[in-house]
């Protein structure tokens, strides 16, 4: 069997129940098992086991170092055959595998090029998106780079849309959710895999992590990212809400620096859903413009067919207002930029 076939092959041995190796305190036992497997030529199984171990025992520097070494060796062995494969019989899957191998060898530019080539060759094949997503996911995990996390989410979502039950897509998505401290969402993503590949070491490791974290109280992925980035969770309390004097037909909401809803106009929706959506919007806008290279956020205007939403950054947080009449946009802007009876709302 060629290297490519063995690369693509789902080893049946990996299906064996290795759960005892992931018990806390069994790191050296796992490393020993991995070395034994590698010595008998079962490098793929060894990598799969160790990859699961680095997730289960995270942070585990020794495990990460051995894994890196094994993955690089495997990529080095496979690279020539993978290059031949894309030249002889070009397919999206071949390009995606070459991308993955190049990434392992540290050639990020080459990896991105081939992953994009895979998407171009067959935009309906999830492999190209998955290859890019995995590169970003590694960077997110290793460097805690939020942009990499955001990219990983985008490409994983796309791959999962193209093939709803794709083991690698679901495993990667579950890992991303666990990194964002969302065990409930991760458990939901892992559910089909628990039926499909119950003894897969990575599924076992990820599954055990879902019970180690406290359950998240939001299903909004953007809110999860914001909490991960800022380390804070907004606290919305209707009891302490103050009132914003507001023109007729306009709803207004004010959020403080921690993205918590602190004031609304009379009649404006104060539900938990509204507070969370506005909070996510405030956090997203505040982070987006500096990261794009456009400096500090000042103002947002959203025009639809049936209304206008305007938001403005303030020294103490952010204020949003909404009207279902588009014609009031200029006066609403002026009102937001003015004093708008601030003393009365305090």
Partner 1 sequence: MIQLLQQVNELPGVLGSMVMTADGLPVASLLGAGLDEDCVAAYASSSSIAVGRVATHCGEEAPDEVILESEGGTLLLKQIEGATLAVITHPGLEMNTGMVEIRSIAKRLHQIIEIQNK
**114 belongs to the binding site for partner 1 (CB under 8 A):** no
Residue 322, interface with partner 1 (CB under 8 A)? yes
Nearer CB in complex with partner 1: 2/123: 123
- 257 backbone dihedrals φ, ψ, rounded to 5°: -60, -25
Report whether 167 contacts 15 (CB < 8 A). no
For partner 1, the binding residue among 147, 165, 238, 344 (CB under 8 A) is 147
Rounded to the nearest 10°, the torsion over CA 170, 173, 174, 179 is 160
CA 249 to chain centre: 38
Q: Could you check whether the bond before residue 59 is cis, i.e. omega within 30 degrees of 0?
A: yes
Question: What is the dihedral sign for C-alpha 237, 238, 241, 245?
Answer: positive
Residue 15 or 247: the one with the smaller Cβ distance to partner 1 is: 247
Q: Name the residue among 309, 157, 132 with its Cα closest to residue 221.
A: 157
Identity of the residue, 217 or 301, whose beta carbon is nearer to partner 1 in the bound complex? 301
Q: Which of 300, 318, 319, 332 is close enough to bind partner 1 by CB under 8 A?
A: 300
List, as one string, the DSSP characters of 41-55: T-HHHHHHHHHHHHH
User: Based on the number of CB atoms within 10 Å of its own CB, is 255 exposed (0-12), middle (13-18) or buried (19 or more)?
Assistant: buried
Give the shortest CB-229-to-partner 1 separation in angstroms: 12
287 binds partner 1 (CB under 8 A): yes
271 backbone φψ class: left, alpha, beta (φ>0; ψ -120 to 50) = beta
| Binding map of partner 1 across residues 82-101, x = CB under 8 A, - = no contact | --------------------
The reply to whether 325 sits near partner 1 by the rule CB under 8 A is no
Which one of residues 296, 330, 343, 346 is an interface residue with partner 1 (CB under 8 A)?
A: 296
Binding segment toward partner 1, per CB under 8 A, in 37-45, 96-104, 206-214, 285-293: 285-293
For partner 1, which residue of 4, 181, 307, 340 counts as binding (CB under 8 A)? 307
Q: Is 289 in the site for partner 1 (CB under 8 A)?
A: yes
> Residue 277 burial by CB count (10 A; 0-12/13-18/19+): exposed, middle or buried?
middle
Does position 304 interact with partner 1 (CB under 8 A)? The reply is yes
Position 314 contacts partner 1 (CB under 8 A): no
12 sits in which H/E element: none
Q: Coil, strand or helix: which one is 246?
A: coil
Distance CA 38, CA 156 (A): 30
Q: In this structure, what DSSP letter does residue 340 have?
A: T
The reply to whether 277 sits near partner 1 by the rule CB under 8 A is: yes
Site size for partner 1 (CB under 8 A): 43
Cα separation, 215 vs 207, whole angstroms: 14
Q: Binding to partner 1 by residue 251, rule CB under 8 A? A: yes
The burial class, CB within 10 Å (0-12 / 13-18 / 19+), for 256 is middle
Dihedral over Cα of 59, 60, 61, 65: its sign: negative
20 binds partner 1 (CB under 8 A): no
Which one of 36-44, 76-84, 153-161, 197-205 is the stretch in contact with partner 1 (CB under 8 A)?
A: 153-161
Report, in Å, the least distance between residue 81 CB and partner 1.
30
281 contributes a contact to partner 1 by CB under 8 A? yes
Other Cβ atoms closer than 10 A to 291: 10
Note whether 163 binds partner 1 by CB under 8 A: no
Span interacting with partner 1, options 173-181, 190-198, 280-288, 334-342, rule CB under 8 A: 280-288
Q: Which of 303, 325, 334, 342 binds partner 1 (CB under 8 A)?
A: 303
Residue span binding partner 1 (CB under 8 A) among the ranges 63-71, 75-83, 236-244, 284-292:
284-292
Residues that bind partner 1 (CB under 8 A): 147, 150-151, 154-155, 157-158, 222, 251, 269, 273-274, 277-278, 280-281, 284-285, 287-307, 309, 320, 322, 324
């Amino acid at each position: 069997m060629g290297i490519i076939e063995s690369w693509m092959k789902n080893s049946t041995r990996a299906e064996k129940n290795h759960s005892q190796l992931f018990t806390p305190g069994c790191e050296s036992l796992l490393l020993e098992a991995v070395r034994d497997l590698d010595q008998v030529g079962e490098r793929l199984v060894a990598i799969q086991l160790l990859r699961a171990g680095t997730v289960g025992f995270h942070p585990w520097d020794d495990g990460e170092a051995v894994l890196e070494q094994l993955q690089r060796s495997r990529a080095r062995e496979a690279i020539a055959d993978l290059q031949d494969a894309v030249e002889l019989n070009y397919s999206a899957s071949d390009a995606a595998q070459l991308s993955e191998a190049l990434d392992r060898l540290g050639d990020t530019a080459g990896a991105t090029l081939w992953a994009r080539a895979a998407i171009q060759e067959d935009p309906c094949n999830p492999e190209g998106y998955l290859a890019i997503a995995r590169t970003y996911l590694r960077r997110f995990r290793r460097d805690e780079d939020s942009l990499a996390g955001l990219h990983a989410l985008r490409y994983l979502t796309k791959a999962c849309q193209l093939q709803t039950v794709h083991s690698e897509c679901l495993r990667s998505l579950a890992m991303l959710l666990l990194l964002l401290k969302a065990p409930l969402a991760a458990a939901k993503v892992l559910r089909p895999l628990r039926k499909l590949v119950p003894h897969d070491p990575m599924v076992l490791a990820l599954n055990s992590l879902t019970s180690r974290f406290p359950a998240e109280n939001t299903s909004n992925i953007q809110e999860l990212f914001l909490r991960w980035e800022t380390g804070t969770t907004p606290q919305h309390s209707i009891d302490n809400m103050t009132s914003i004097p507001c023109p007729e037909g306009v709803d207004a909401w004010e959020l403080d620096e921690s993205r918590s809803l602190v004031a609304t106009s009379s009649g404006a929706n104060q539900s938990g859903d509204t507070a969370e959506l506005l909070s996510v919007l405030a956090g997203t806008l505040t982070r987006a413009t500096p990261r794009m290279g456009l400096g500090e956020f000042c103002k947002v205007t959203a025009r639809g067919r049936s209304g206008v939403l305007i938001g403005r950054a303030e020294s103490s947080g952010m204020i949003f207002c909404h009207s279902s009449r588009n014609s009031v946009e200029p006066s609403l802007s002026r009102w937001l930029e003015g004093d708008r009876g601030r003393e009365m709302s305090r």
